[in-house]
Chains A and B, each alone.
Chain A
Amino acid sequence: MPGLGTSLGRGAATTYQQDLSNSDCILIMGSNMAEAHPVGFRWPLQAKQNCGKLIHVDPRFTRTSALCDVFIGIRAGTDIAFLGGLIHYVLENNLWFSEYVKHYTNAATIIDEQYADTEDLDGLFSGFDDGTNYDPGTRHWNYQEGDDHQPLRDPSLQHERCVFQILKRHFARYTPDTVAEICGCKPEQIIRVATLLAENSGRERTSALVYALGWTQHSTGVQIIRAAGILQLLLGNIGRPGGGIMAMRGHSTIQGSTDLATLYDLLPGYLPQPVACDEHETLDRYVEHAGQSTGFWSNFRKYIVSLLKAWYGETAQVDNDFCFDWLPRIDDNYSQMACFERMSRGELEGYFLFGQNPAGGGPNAELHRAGLRNLDWLVVVDWFEIESAVFWKDDPHGPPAEEIKTEVFLLPTAAAPEKSGSLTNTQRVIQWHDQALDPAGDSRSDAWIIYNLGKRLKELYADSDLLRDSPIQNLTWDYDFAQPPQLPDGSLSQVEGEPDLEKVLQEINGYYVREIDPVHRQARQLQGFAELTDDGNTACGCWIYSGVFPSPDRNRAKDRQRRRDSIEAEWGYAWPANRRILYNRASADPEGKPWSERKQLIWWDEEARSWTGYDVPDFELHKPPEYRAAADAQGMDAINGDHPFIMKPDGVGWLFAPTMLKDGPLPTHYEPIESPVANLLYPDQPINPLTQKFAGPLNPLAEEPTEAYPIVATTFRLTEHFLSGPMSRFNSWLNELQPEMFAELSHQLAAERQIKHGDWLVIETPRGAIEARAMVTHRLQPLKIQGRIIHSIGLPFHWSFAGEAVGDSANLLTALIGEPNVSIHESKAFVCQVRSGRRAGRTTQPTQPTAAWPTSQRVPNTPDAAQPEGRFDHDR
């Protein structure tokens, strides 16, 4: 999540959902929180009951909009324009929180004199010399340094090249009138939102932003979140109760999976995966280039060395660079889309899918299916026979089964109650869950499958003399249970070979390599990442999680103590160091006093010479507010006592991002790759110039506005289903609630195309055509954009061809387009054509019979009177 990381320091939500109840105003944008995160939505509703204002900005009027005070409909893919409009209004009308901005952001920092903005270069920044990428050597986005090599600053914010003035110029075009022309809303509506946010920000009040995949799944996704960061920094809302940016993550432990680095270019704890280049050749050079000399990341070496110690144990020593050479180097893009594109060209042999369904859920699903058809072998680890497991026989769009060579192995997996483990939720809270019963039949937990696969690989390579097999030979891989785990009913688990995941979490927490804890007779656990060293004396699997398992008998992820305050510090364990609100030093003014009594969280206790408050301070505990760094200070000593963003090298929030992002230091409105209109702000630069387009015969794009595809489409979720349906379309109780694929469209569009409510319609894009039932509704409205009427349609992406409720997949329409920084696809805005009727070809048929009776068996060992009421044969 570099959008947040670049602006603030850490790639995670800055706050927690319960804290939304302390907000005075919440802008929900790029999120359909009530539908996609219904349980968390109770907190915005509590804010509303406390007279807070809820604002929803979205292409569709959804169940979230229905509960908000203000709804504004915009065209999908114009979020930066809208946020830019808010930033413009806040800057022009002096609604920004001046003391916060002057002390806690880089507003005063002066930028290199050769820097040129999109204002100067018609939509491009300086450094776009080769026409494909910004060259770090010539882009000049850096801070201007003085003679003492310190960045120059102008605290008056008047210098023409200080960030504040650049920001003002950059957003000068985003006037309410222009933005309204782009987004399709009214200028008053932009002013209304800006005013509400500004009125509810400042010393006494705070506003929060909530976003989800409606912001991320764009070719400008990271920059949209940058714009949100800029807005919240200007309004002074980061690090304060009721403020912040709440990133709503999509799956149960998707935060955990980014923390523990399932992404190809990250190591655990957001350390970058080394790249095949000189800068990452040795450990020293890697630390020099990937770490920072000032700020918290100056500890970088401790984290990577401890990680290597956790992975390679005794083999990792100072004299062999802690086996740094064994880490694979990246030489290309190995994100999912890039992999599947290669696969579709037959360049991959085999693939593992754990809880993932690319044949139904991948953007441009047909390309993903073509990829699967080109494999020699595929292992699917899932509960059900999902699309990715039966694509070879049941895909109505695919060739006959005999023409497909892929050998598919379906490994049935255990459901959550059938395994122990931890989940890290959207607000960084690690929560442990215990196994309630053994998995049915031959099902095994994902951990069992990985663990035993690892064991067999180690066995396979045990006698190898080849150097390349050393990483596998020396990998620490010893997580066996000392004795079989006990289930809640007192019996012992019958599953053999299950790994003890508490041992894994202990390794993630970290331990002293050479110290034995005399009580537990095993390596002494670390109390937190402050204890990590870079000399090989500590091992730690993921430094940000350190502290979760401080002693072998103390798993803090199991904590379930309820408290009266909303912080709930003893419920699970939030990384880092159990902090619930990140950057909370900013909840106090530069002198260390709370901005107001109403919004107090952390403050400087002069008597105790320490930071104190309701949350764990996100600051060096005994560094006084008046501390000023010496010019040559290194590490944390370089961070002033009034600089709350300790992860940044200069300790302040980045309104302007001199490094870290590939596509610009400031967010700029570009149209989606597929858009029906030109870029009103920068006509010469319609789209994000760095976007990866994966051009090829399987991925045709409508890159120019065209009459053939005049309608804007966006995909969305329903409460009733989960993603592409791999968990929900096999459940009759959910399927009856949303049984069929439909498309939402306005009455005007329906009338124009003679589509009747409830009838079938066909939706076409350059990638394919699907059919759906027509949901004609006033919740979608045509928009006036640049003198034209632009229609939008909404497509839930929950259906595909496997399961008991099936339908055409919206992902047959979406394209393979990669955002430049994180390679996320652009499924939230593309163009299409619609017509009444049905598509050609085979219709989709269920692959599973409906479970009309969820379970007709009596509940065992239960008397008649206690049998479920609805079990109609209960007294037989």
Chain B
Amino acid sequence: MTGSAHNDSQTDRTNWLERILAPFQRGTPPAPRTATGFYTDTTVCIGCKACEVACKQWNQLPSDGFEWTGKSYDNTGELSATSWRHVKFVEQLVDTELPQDTAIVEPLEAGTVPDLPGRWLMMSDVCKHCATAPCEQACPTGSLLQNEFENIYLQSDICNGCSYCIAACPFGVITRATFDGHAHKCTLCYDRQRDDLTPACAKACPTESIQFGPIDELRERARERVSELQSLGINDAYLYSDEASEKYSQLNSFYLLIDEPSAYGLPDNPVNPWLFMKGDYLRSGLTGFIAIAMLLIILWLGG
């Protein structure tokens, strides 16, 4: 810098002023782009976890330590500030009817044998990027926002660590990182999208279980796939939260499932707490008012 002392102090003052004013200023939001999202077809997921590794590598997320959980092949456990993709494994197999005794058993019985002894469901879970996101509604700092792709983006640097978003999310997506105190979650590879690249997980998925694209196209494709599966006799196939329910908006990252949502560890009927906030505020206000009134009455009577 070659500026004089006078200029420096002026700059300092401007900086100081800017700092005071900055929280009250609003920048220009980027122009809206085509809304994007994920469609995860769990019927073709092979549980390879390439999505998990691709996500960690692209976003440079640290490893969570080496803990063997014994929960099928799932050693990730949950979505967290450092695991933005999580492949779930649900073993639904039954025992063959065999005696415990290793002695002689009866001859082979005739009859039909089922083609499969059961199912091993796999599903790559991620932030749902809700059309109306309770985390965003709960965030007091504006750290959570809906970006130009209609994805929910978390600006960790202005997160104050209040954890309201963690309580608000019905899917347990967000946690706070232990080493910086901020919340972190899937950005839907905002940086890659701005460069017209496919998010890392979808790019790495070998079977196109994770599909990325304009959300309307994805929904159409997913509905076709459901009817295709149903025509093949897989009548359990359905889309999870593809459409808005009474208590929750539609998801921009939605799933094709073949069992109850709870089988995959998803809420059967997610609820947006915001819907009940007015009532909650009213009730707490009213309760406070009554309490104070009662207190005054007691004081007055006693006085």
- Can you offer 16 A-B residue contacts whose CB atoms are under 8 A? A34-B47, A35-B48, A39-B206, A41-B207, A63-B122, A66-B120, A70-B116, A187-B108, A736-B65, A739-B68, A747-B95, A778-B117, A851-B63, A868-B58, A869-B190, A870-B82
Contact B68 A779 (CB under 8 A): no
* 0/1 interface trace, chain A 709-753, chain B, CB 8 Å (1 if under): 000000000111000000000001111111110100001100110
Is A781 an interface residue, CB under 8 A from the partner? yes
Contact A868 B59 (CB under 8 A): yes
How far is B58's CA from A752's CA once the two chains are assembled, in angstroms? 47
Contact B102 A737 (CB under 8 A): no
Contact B120 A854 (CB under 8 A): no
Contact A868 B60 (CB under 8 A): yes
Contact B62 A787 (CB under 8 A): no
- Which of B82, B95, B115, B177 is the one whose CB lies under 8 Å from A71? B115
Number of contacts between A and B (CB, 8 Å)?
Answer: 195
Instruction: State which residues 42-67 of B face A: CB under 8 Å.
Output: 44, 46-50, 52-53, 56-67
* Chain A positions within 8 Å of B70 at CB level: 742, 757-758, 773, 775
Is B93 an interface residue, CB under 8 A from the partner? yes
Contact A870 B62 (CB under 8 A): yes
A658 to chain B, nearest CB (A): 38
Contact A733 B60 (CB under 8 A): no
* Chain A positions within 8 Å of B206 at CB level: 38-39, 41-42
A150 to chain B, nearest CB (A): 48
Contact B46 A41 (CB under 8 A): yes
- Known interface pairs A34-B46, A872-B184; 9 further A-B residue pairs with C-beta atoms within 8 A, sorted by A's residue number: A41-B207, A45-B44, A49-B44, A66-B121, A736-B63, A737-B49, A778-B118, A852-B65, A869-B156
Nearest B-chain residue to A39, judged by Cβ: B206
How far is B60's CA from A60's CA once the two chains are assembled, in angstroms? 35
How far is B56's CA from A223's CA once the two chains are assembled, in angstroms? 44
- Which of A61, A789, A805, A851 is the one whose CB lies under 8 Å from B102? A789
Contact A872 B179 (CB under 8 A): yes
Given A739-B75, A775-B70, A872-B180, check contact A789 B117 (CB 8 Å): no
* Chain A positions within 8 Å of B76 at CB level: 736-737
Contact A871 B60 (CB under 8 A): yes
Contact A719 B49 (CB under 8 A): yes
Is B301 an interface residue, CB under 8 A from the partner? no
Residues in chain A within 8 A of chain B (CB atoms): 34-35, 38-39, 41-42, 45, 49, 51, 61, 63-71, 73, 177, 180-181, 186-189, 192, 718-720, 732-740, 742, 747-748, 751-752, 757-758, 773, 775, 777-779, 781-782, 784, 787-789, 804-805, 850-855, 866, 868-875
- Which of A177, A738, A782, A854 is the one whose CB lies under 8 Å from B56? A854
Contact B65 A866 (CB under 8 A): no
Residues in chain B within 8 A of chain A (CB atoms): 44, 46-50, 52-53, 56-68, 70, 72-73, 75-76, 82, 91, 93-96, 98-102, 104-105, 108, 110-113, 115-122, 156-157, 177, 179-180, 182, 184, 187, 190-191, 206-208, 228, 232
Contact A872 B48 (CB under 8 A): no
Contact B65 A850 (CB under 8 A): yes
Nearest A-chain residue to B180, judged by Cβ: A872
Given A188-B112, A732-B63, check contact A738 B46 (CB 8 Å): no
Nearest B-chain residue to A720, judged by Cβ: B49
* Chain B positions within 8 Å of A805 at CB level: 66
Contact A789 B191 (CB under 8 A): no
Contact B75 A737 (CB under 8 A): yes
How far is B67's CA from A42's CA once the two chains are assembled, in angstroms? 30
- Which of B72, B111, B121, B184 is the one whose CB lies under 8 Å from A870? B184
Given A61-B117, A188-B112, A748-B98, check contact A719 B47 (CB 8 Å): yes
B22 to chain A, nearest CB (A): 14
How far is B101's CA from A705's CA once the two chains are assembled, in angstroms? 19
* Chain B positions within 8 Å of A69 at CB level: 115-116
- Which of B47, B95, B113, B207 is the one whose CB lies under 8 Å from A188? B113
Nearest A-chain residue to B94, judged by Cβ: A778
* Chain A positions within 8 Å of B73 at CB level: 63, 718, 738
* Chain B positions within 8 Å of A51 at CB level: 232
Q: Chain B CB within 10 Å — which of A177, A773, A775 has the most? A: A775
* Chain B positions within 8 Å of A188 at CB level: 110-113
Contact A778 B105 (CB under 8 A): no
How far is B118's CA from A163's CA once the two chains are assembled, in angstroms? 42
B143 to chain A, nearest CB (A): 13
B contact face: mostly helix, strand, loop, or mixed: loop
A648 to chain B, nearest CB (A): 36
How far is B182's CA from A873's CA once the two chains are assembled, in angstroms? 11
Contact B46 A67 (CB under 8 A): yes
Nearest A-chain residue to B157, judged by Cβ: A875
Given A738-B75, A869-B187, A870-B56, check contact A854 B62 (CB 8 Å): yes
Contact A67 B100 (CB under 8 A): no
- Which of A66, A187, A872 is the one whose CB lies under 8 Å from B182? A872
How far is B48's CA from A45's CA once the two chains are assembled, in angstroms? 14
* Chain B positions within 8 Å of A180 at CB level: 108
Contact A778 B48 (CB under 8 A): no
Contact A866 B105 (CB under 8 A): no
How far is B297's CA from A351's CA once the two chains are assembled, in angstroms? 96
- Which of B52, B117, B191, B228 is the one whose CB lies under 8 Å from A737? B52
Contact B56 A733 (CB under 8 A): yes
Contact B95 A66 (CB under 8 A): no
- Which of B66, B100, B105, B232 is the one whose CB lies under 8 Å from A740? B66
* Chain B positions within 8 Å of A751 at CB level: 100
The 6 closest A-B pairs by CB, nearest first: A739-B66, A732-B63, A778-B93, A870-B59, A66-B120, A870-B61
Nearest A-chain residue to B63, judged by Cβ: A732
How far is B109's CA from A177's CA once the two chains are assembled, in angstroms? 11
Q: Chain B CB within 10 Å — which of A42, A61, A71, A737 has the most? A: A737
Nearest B-chain residue to A181, judged by Cβ: B108
Contact A63 B49 (CB under 8 A): no
Contact A63 B50 (CB under 8 A): no
A282 to chain B, nearest CB (A): 52
A716 to chain B, nearest CB (A): 12
How far is B122's CA from A804's CA once the two chains are assembled, in angstroms? 28
How far is B219's CA from A453's CA once the two chains are assembled, in angstroms? 60
Nearest B-chain residue to A734, judged by Cβ: B53
B265 to chain A, nearest CB (A): 17
Contact A852 B62 (CB under 8 A): yes
How far is B53's CA from A719's CA once the two chains are assembled, in angstroms? 12
Contact A789 B177 (CB under 8 A): no
* Chain B positions within 8 Å of A747 at CB level: 95
* Chain B positions within 8 Å of A67 at CB level: 44, 46
How far is B41's CA from A566's CA once the two chains are assembled, in angstroms? 24
* Chain B positions within 8 Å of A38 at CB level: 46, 48, 50, 206-207
* Chain A positions within 8 Å of B60 at CB level: 854-855, 868-871
How far is B44's CA from A71's CA once the two chains are assembled, in angstroms? 16
* Chain A positions within 8 Å of B190 at CB level: 869
A194 to chain B, nearest CB (A): 14
How far is B99's CA from A411's CA once the two chains are assembled, in angstroms? 56
Contact B64 A736 (CB under 8 A): yes
Nearest B-chain residue to A186, judged by Cβ: B113
Nearest B-chain residue to A853, judged by Cβ: B62
B158 to chain A, nearest CB (A): 10
Q: Chain A CB within 10 Å — which of B82, B102, B122 has the most? A: B102
A425 to chain B, nearest CB (A): 15
Contact A872 B177 (CB under 8 A): yes
Given A735-B63, A742-B68, A788-B104, check contact A778 B95 (CB 8 Å): yes
- Which of A73, A737, A752 is the one whose CB lies under 8 Å from B53? A737
How far is B58's CA from A855's CA once the two chains are assembled, in angstroms? 12
How far is B72's CA from A758's CA once the two chains are assembled, in angstroms? 11
Contact A61 B63 (CB under 8 A): no
Nearest A-chain residue to B49, judged by Cβ: A737
Q: Chain B CB within 10 Å — which of A736, A748, A782 has the most? A: A736
How far is B208's CA from A773's CA once the two chains are assembled, in angstroms? 33
* Chain A positions within 8 Å of B63 at CB level: 732-733, 735-736, 850-852, 854
* Chain A positions within 8 Å of B122 at CB level: 63, 66
- Which of B61, B93, B121, B191 is the one whose CB lies under 8 Å from A866? B191
